Amino acid sequence: MSGSLAVISKPTTHQMFTKAESNIRTIRPGDPKFLLKDTFTVCQRASIEVSNDCPSNYKKIIAQAYENGWLKPVAHVYGKELTMDAMR
C-alpha cells in the first residue's frame, strides 16, 4: 500500500495541489514478495522473534495470538527493493 500526501505548491488565487507518493511499501504474509528465496533458502521477509527470557505464560499468549491471526509479521520496504528482487 502506498501513502499519499497533498502538498500545496505556489500559493496563488488558484492554488495547485501536487500528489506526492511514498516509496515505502508494506508487504504481508501471502503477498508475492513476502518470501525471500535464493539457491539454498526460502524464508519470510519479516518474522516475530520472542526472547528466551520471555516468561512462558507470555510465550503461550503470543503463540495463541499468532495462531489466531491476531499478531502478524509485516515488512516495510522501499519499492525499489522489490524491483531489484524481481530482477534477480
Q: Where in the chain are the domains?
A: 4-87
Report the C-alpha dihedral over residues 29, 3, 88, 30, rounded to 10 degrees.
10
Nearest by Cα to 25 from 82, 85, 88: 82
> pLDDT tens across 5-60, in order?
555 555 556 667 777 788 888 899 999 888 888 899 999 889 899 999 999 999 99
Helix (H) or strand (E) holding 81: helix 79-87
What predicted TM-score, i.e. pTM, was given to this entire model?
0.56
